[in-house]
Structure 1
Amino acid sequence: MKIKFLLVLAVVAISFSVQSQDYNNAIGLRAAWGWALTGKHFLNEKNALEAIVNYRSYGAGAYDYSYFSLTGLFQKHYDIASVDGLRWYWGFGARLGSWGGDWDLVDGGDGSFFVGACGNLGLDYKFKNVPINLSADWIPTFNFVGWGDGFTGEGGGFAIRYAF
């Protein structure tokens, strides 16, 4: 029984074709801390650039603030052979932005401009016959200026994009 199971598993694994990304550009929405616009452009089969424009505004008591950021990332993509259309990626980039309002937990509550260096780790899935791309990732950031001056690991999110 074990041999039959392993044989079936081997045939199924071999039957999956290894396929690289089948889109060059994608644009859509990202759900993270607030909503964002996201765009991805592949430079070649493995290398991509992603831009994220994020805005959020909260108005509840001690957390009355607005936040805007621009993030630019360079990414290296690698196929996951066992799942057609799924790739994992890592990358790096930069984030800059500003926030203002009354949030005493960060920078004394006065708001500020911030600049940081980002890492990036995630999964990217492209449906085979539908122009939809999904991704989930983490973007840890070290802020050199503003927004707490230091490491922030809050940058994860999910994206859905139209791929073309």
Structure 2
Amino acid sequence: MKKLLLLLVLGMVIGFNQSASAQEYKSAIGLRLGYPLSVSYKTFLNDKAALELMGGFRSWASYRSVNIGALYQIHNPIESVSGLSWYYGGGLQAAFYSWDSGYLADDAGKTSIGISGNIGLDYKFANTPINLSLDWMPTFWLTGYYDGFGSAIGGLAVRYTF
């Protein structure tokens, strides 16, 4: 997982067109691929601070989950690559789980609440309303199905900017 993340970060830094614009975007909406798979909405509150809201749904076999989250992020430009910035921040996550064990009246469910850190890269393509971000969200789960530290949260977001 660490090698894959490193390769993705290097690919973003090396592979992007150097003629990309430094133009900023106000808001963006799209998909966040990874765990959890979600819809992502990001809006800048000022030149550096952004708020990202996420919501998603997963289902397989007899297991279902719904997740929501909010992150406050501070963005800092990487001067050597136009359109690229790195960010850090934190926020809250909530996940609602349910499953069916196959027996009558034996369904179960849990709610997990967590505090997340957030670090990543954000890239805005020049002359195209597309934004990519790649991040990691280590989360400390306070209650519920998960309990304790979770490090496997994060992903790649592809968004339409406006």
* Aligned match for 2:114, one of 113, 116, 125: 116
Q: Secondary structure at the match of 1:111?
A: strand
Q: Secondary structure at the match of 2:52?
A: strand
**AA paired with 1:97?**
A
Is the 1:68–1:99 contact (alpha carbons within 8 Å) kept by the matching residues of 2? yes
Q: How does 1:1-164 map to 2 (within 5 A)?
A: 22-33=24-35, 35-59=37-61, 64-101=62-99, 110-164=108-162
Q: How far apart are the structure 2 equivalents of 1:69 and 1:117?
A: 13
Q: How far apart are the structure 2 equivalents of 1:136 and 1:46?
A: 17
Structure 1 residues without counterparts, runs of 5 or longer: 1-15, 104-108
Q: Deviation of residue 20 (structure 1)?
A: 5.5
Is the 1:33–1:56 contact (alpha carbons within 8 Å) kept by the matching residues of 2? no
User: C-alpha deviations, 1:53-76, integer Å up to 9, x for none?
Assistant: 0211122xxxx4111111100000
**AA paired with 2:44?**
F
Q: How far apart are the structure 2 equivalents of 1:99 and 1:137?
A: 24
Q: What is the number of residues matched between the two proteins?
A: 140
Structure 2 length as normaliser, TM-score? 0.79
Q: CA RMSD in A?
A: 2.2
